Amino acid sequence: MYSLFIRLEQFWQGLWTLSSLWQHKGMAKRKPSESANLLIPLHPTIPALQKAAKDCQACDLWKRGTQTVFGEGEAGAKVIFVGEQPGDREDLEGKPFVGPAGGLLDKALVEAGIDRKKVYVTNAVKHFKWEPRGKRRIHKKPDAAEIAACRPWLDAEIAALRPKVVVCLGATAGQALLGRGFRVTQHRGEFVESPLAPFVMATVHPSSILRAPDDETRHLEMRRFVADLKKLAGVLS
């Protein structure tokens, strides 16, 4: 009787080890983007996606950020602006482009004659990646794995809105959506062929204008940014 008990015990131990090995192997093999894919709701409207993305742990950035910062804007928006990732203010407020870069984007949109309330703004990565420097949280560029892990959300936003125009703001968004070889410096302000939307363009990130070394350069860069945005007015009317 005792030996039967031992054998049963060994049998369960074996099953338990096999099942943990299987789970471990499954986790190691699982691509991060698959885990965000698993969260996409059956009816992926923007509000449903916003809600589902709150729980996203497809990469480790959720541990660092305060919250998921999902895209925002009009349901029928014809234009999507895609930035890199939320900054410090966005992370705290839970809304994209509400900090200094957002302020500059708003100003440029007004100058280009585009109503911000009629566009949708989002980011390639939906958590703030930062590292501490003293008491400050310093922005850190997301890496390729983090961008890939977040990609299902961006794809779902584009699929839900089916915009006429997608605008990539800066190199991270440009490369995330148009390929690693894409250079904003070479193709800024050009409409490029892409299955994402009828019109796809990349331009600089508003933060790059804020970082200009002097007023004159900042002013010039702002003019160039507004000129790129004005091209959208032509295809939106």
Residue with tokens 């234009």: 79
Based on the shown chain and the rule CB under 6 A, indicate whether residue 96 belongs to the binding site for ligand URA: yes
H helix runs in 75-191, sequence order: 88-93, 100-112, 144-161, 171-178, 184-187
Which strand (E) or helix (H) includes residue 199?
strand 199-203
What is the C-alpha R_g of the chain? 22
* In the complex, least distance from residue 123 CB atom to ligand URA, rounded to whole angstroms: 5
Q: Out of 90, 91, 146, 157, name the contact with ligand URA by CB under 6 A.
A: 90
Based on the shown chain and the rule CB under 6 A, indicate whether residue 182 belongs to the binding site for ligand URA: no
Q: Which is nearer to ligand URA, 102 or 174 (CB)?
A: 102
Distance CA 108, CA 103 (A): 9
* In the complex, least distance from residue 235 CB atom to ligand URA, rounded to whole angstroms: 23
Contact by Cβ (8 Å): 108, 43: no
Q: Out of 33, 85, 175, 203, name the contact with ligand URA by CB under 6 A.
A: 85
* In the complex, least distance from residue 118 CB atom to ligand URA, rounded to whole angstroms: 18
Contact by Cβ (8 Å): 169, 229: no
Based on the shown chain and the rule CB under 6 A, indicate whether residue 128 belongs to the binding site for ligand URA: no
* In the complex, least distance from residue 87 CB atom to ligand URA, rounded to whole angstroms: 4
What is the residue type of 190? E
Distance CA 173, CA 28 (A): 28
Output the residue with the shortest Cβ distance to ligand URA: 83
Based on the shown chain and the rule CB under 6 A, indicate whether residue 68 belongs to the binding site for ligand URA: no
What SS3 class is residue 40? coil
Q: Out of 65, 87, 142, 163, name the contact with ligand URA by CB under 6 A.
A: 87
Based on the shown chain and the rule CB under 6 A, indicate whether residue 84 belongs to the binding site for ligand URA: yes
Residue with tokens 């350069």: 217
Distance CA 159, CA 36 (A): 15
Contact by Cβ (8 Å): 69, 90: yes
What is the residue type of 180? R
Site string for ligand URA, 192-211 (x = CB under 6 A): ---------------x----
Which of the stretches 22-30, 99-107, 151-159, 186-194 binds ligand URA when contact is defined by CB under 6 A? 99-107
Q: Which is nearer to ligand URA, 73 or 102 (CB)?
A: 102
Based on the shown chain and the rule CB under 6 A, indicate whether residue 73 belongs to the binding site for ligand URA: no
Angle between helices 144-161 and 171-178 (to 10 degrees): 70
Interface residue list for ligand URA (CB under 6 A) = 83-87, 90, 96-97, 99, 101-102, 123, 207
